[in-house]
């Protein structure tokens, strides 16, 4: 069956979250009197990933994720700084501006009108709404599903089912999920019975049990793959 619905992750699939994160955490730490060395910024990113994966597994809630990552970092650094204050500063800075993943703008232009596009993101509503508005990409999408707003997170099957319920005439056979995260996007798609495309520009090794159906290392390869899948189904 021809592909009709393309569900796209946002961070590090369309918008470059790593660059935005680095800029925001650097400014946050500096404002708090902590020198943002490369090692500290790298360690924050590692801790952040650990906490988000805990959230994906349902071990902690969103607020515990957002504040806990800073509490853990400050404990390691041996500094006495209010984690909640750091989180508020960081989130406000993260809302400012945007950076595109290479090829993302061209991808959206190419896919728009040929497929119904949807954003499926685990990010915070305030941050994602701001970055989507700043980047001007909302016009390409038929729907935007932010986990905080929906009360569920990828890879929870219920998150995807809530998305499906808002997609007109939704059918799994003509839909596909595209994202960079094995733990949220690819595992989530599998949990929901959806085909998936792993966006893997860094050529990371496949780990865990969340194997994607397809893999690309550049966004410009996605339109070709979608066209091939549609041809195969004819």
Which residue out of 9, 11, 156, 185 is catalytically annotated?
9
DSSP 101: P
- C-alpha to C-alpha distance for 185 and 160, rounded to whole angstroms: 10
Residue 187 neighbours by CB under 8 Å, 6+ apart: 155, 208, 209, 210
- C-alpha to C-alpha distance for 2 and 195, rounded to whole angstroms: 13
Active site residue 9: yes
Cα dist from 232 to 141, 179, 223, 225, 226, whole Å: 26, 22, 14, 11, 10
Helix 83-94 vs helix 17-31: angle between axes, to the nearest 10 degrees?
130
| Pair 117, 8: CB distance under 8 Å | yes
| Pair 215, 197: CB distance under 8 Å | yes
DSSP 214: E
Catalytic residues, by residue number, are 9
């Amino acid at each position: 069956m021809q592909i009709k619905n393309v569900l796209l992750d946002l961070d590090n699939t369309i918008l470059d979250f790593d660059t935005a994160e680095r800029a925001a955490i650097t400014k946050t730490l500096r404002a708090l009197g902590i020198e943002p060395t490369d090692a500290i910024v790298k360690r924050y990113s590692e801790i952040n990933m650990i906490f988000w994966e805990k959230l994906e597994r349902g071990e902690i809630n969103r607020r515990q994720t957002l504040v806990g990552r800073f509490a853990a970092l400050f404990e390691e650094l041996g500094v006495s700084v209010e984690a909640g204050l750091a989180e508020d500063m960081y989130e406000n800075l993260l809302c400012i501006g945007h950076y595109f993943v290479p090829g993302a703008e061209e991808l959206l232009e190419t896919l728009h009108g040929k497929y119904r596009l949807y954003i499926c993101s685990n990010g915070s509503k305030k941050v994602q709404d701001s970055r989507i508005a700043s980047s001007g990409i909302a016009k390409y999408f038929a729907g935007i599903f932010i986990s905080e707003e929906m009360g569920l997170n990828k890879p929870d099957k219920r998150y995807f089912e809530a998305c499906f319920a808002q997609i007109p005439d939704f059918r799994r056979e003509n839909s596909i999920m595209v994202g960079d995260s094995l733990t949220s996007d690819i595992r989530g798609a599998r949990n929901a019975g959806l085909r998936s495309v792993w966006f893997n520009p860094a050529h990371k090794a496949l780990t865990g049990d969340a194997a994607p159906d397809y893999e690309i290392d550049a966004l410009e390869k996605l339109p070709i793959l979608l066209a091939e899948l549609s041809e195969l189904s004819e």
